[in-house]
């Protein structure tokens, strides 16, 4: 019998809200106030989900006080009381750190390289490890005085979900007693210009699953939970949320593109259902990966249709990327936080709305999208979060209110 693993309430920071209540209100109202026009170093402008600079405070204790650290710390501060409770109960060595992230320190690296090309030398104090992949976990470990294993996972857009999967494995193997788990990423110039070079960025706000979709809107953010076997340690909202199932698959068919028929994503969804011991009919809501690119939306629609088939009219779905942008390595964790909030607020009988132009693409299966007028007949009890990364790294997570 599987051990129940309980989530604390999330610490969140993104364009849709920098606390859990603000995030939830943006999701149910469909607010896109956090999607703004930004200019990259090249001068080209993009729509992007940006956190208000005034909210991102300096972190004196950080080795590198940079944007990703400030975003991560904004989320971390919200769950520190739970981390301290875990330390008091288990000790610092029994708490692990599992974080998904793809990019950090870009602002220093770009400035450093610019100086090098102009003067032949890097700026004084510049260090290459400013972009070390381990830094987000190392920061949390130092900031919270933790001594357990610390890992960063970089599986592209599924990184935050990968962190959840690996934290679960460590907890079930009794390597640790609690985990700080989640993801963080920044909408850096490297990211903006890199995705633009792939012709994946929309020149309008992203419009997932529409016939008129043009691509992604990038974003930045962080979401962190404490995951533990101890219900009393983390459950303080009157509602407990557990991790029921995880499903992973790998297409490995293309450097960036997913399998067009959705078979890779389908395997991850089916694996999560099997792991949870659920039928398709038991899932109440799906937070779709829903990037707004032609290939992703088409393959995800096919995968969801193939698994849920005739039940899809009873499974509500939406993509929340139009509200916060595609936060890359953080998206798996942030969208799981949205699912958590949907379960905690289920008595409201509302769900995150699908923000799009409503123009169906007749070449892909229709899904049961949540609209602003949707009123649920019953409270939801289960939610699935889909995360599909470059190269076909697919992860589905299922959580349940108990």
The catalytic site residues sit at 157, 289, 326
Per-residue burial over 76-92, b = 16 or more CB atoms within 10 Å of its CB, e = otherwise = bebbbebbebbbeebee
Q: How, if at all, do strands 45-49 and 218-219 pair? A: parallel
- Measure the CA–CA gap between 130 and 108, rounded to whole angstroms: 7
Strand partners, 154: none
**307 contacts: CB under 8 Å, gap ≥ 6:** 266, 269, 270, 273, 280
- Of 65, 3, 7, 97, nearest in space to 397 by CA: 7
- Of 61, 60, 55, nearest in space to 74 by CA: 55
What six digits make up the tokens of 9? Answer: 């309430």
- Measure the CA–CA gap between 42 and 27, rounded to whole angstroms: 32
Strand partners, 399: 243, 383
The residue behind tokens 């963080």 is 184
- Measure the CA–CA gap between 1 and 72, rounded to whole angstroms: 35
């Amino acid at each position: 019998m599987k051990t129940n693993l309980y989530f604390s309430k999330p610490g969140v920071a993104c364009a849709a809200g920098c606390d859990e209540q603000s995030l939830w209100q943006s999701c149910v109202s469909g607010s896109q106030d956090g999607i703004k026009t930004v200019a990259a170093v090249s001068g080209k402008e993009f729509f992007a989900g940006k956190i208000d600079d005034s909210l991102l405070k300096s972190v004196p204790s950080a080795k590198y006080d940079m944007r990703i650290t400030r975003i991560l710390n904004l989320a971390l501060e919200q769950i520190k009381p739970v981390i301290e409770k875990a330390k008091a109960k288990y000790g610092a060595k029994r708490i692990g750190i599992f974080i998904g992230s793809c990019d950090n320190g870009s602002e220093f690296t770009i400035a450093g390289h610019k100086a090098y090309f102009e003067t032949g030398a890097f700026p004084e104090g510049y260090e290459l490890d400013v972009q070390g992949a381990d830094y987000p976990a190392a920061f949390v470990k130092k900031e919270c005085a933790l001594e357990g294993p610390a890992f960063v996972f970089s599986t592209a857009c599924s990184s935050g979900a990968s962190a959840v999967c690996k934290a679960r494995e460590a907890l079930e193997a009794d390597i640790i007693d609690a985990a700080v788990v989640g993801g963080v990423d920044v909408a850096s110039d490297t990211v903006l210009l890199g995705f633009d070079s792939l012709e994946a960025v929309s020149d309008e706000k992203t419009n997932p699953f529409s016939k008129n979709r043009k691509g992604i809107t990038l974003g930045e953010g962080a979401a962190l939970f404490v995951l533990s076997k101890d219900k009393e340690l983390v459950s303080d909202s009157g509602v407990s949320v557990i991790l029921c199932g995880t499903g992973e698959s790998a297409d490995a068919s293309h450097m960036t593109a997913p399998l067009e028929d959705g078979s890779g994503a389908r395997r991850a969804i089916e694996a999560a259902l099997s792991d949870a011991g659920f039928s398709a009919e038991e899932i109440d809501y799906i937070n779709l990966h829903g990037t707004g690119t032609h290939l992703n939306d088409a393959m995800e629609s096919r995968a969801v249709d193939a698994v849920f088939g005739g039940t899809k009219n009873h499974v509500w779905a939406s993509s929340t990327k139009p509200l916060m942008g595609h936060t890359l390595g953080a998206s798996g964790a942030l969208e799981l936080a949205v699912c958590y909030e949907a379960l905690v607020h289920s008595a409201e009988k509302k769900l995150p709305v699908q923000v799009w132009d409503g123009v169906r693409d007749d070449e892909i299966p229709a899904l049961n999208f949540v609209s602003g007028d949707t009123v649920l007949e019953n409270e939801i009890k289960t939610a699935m979060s889909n995360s599909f990364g470059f190269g076909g790294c697919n992860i589905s997570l299922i959580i349940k209110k108990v």
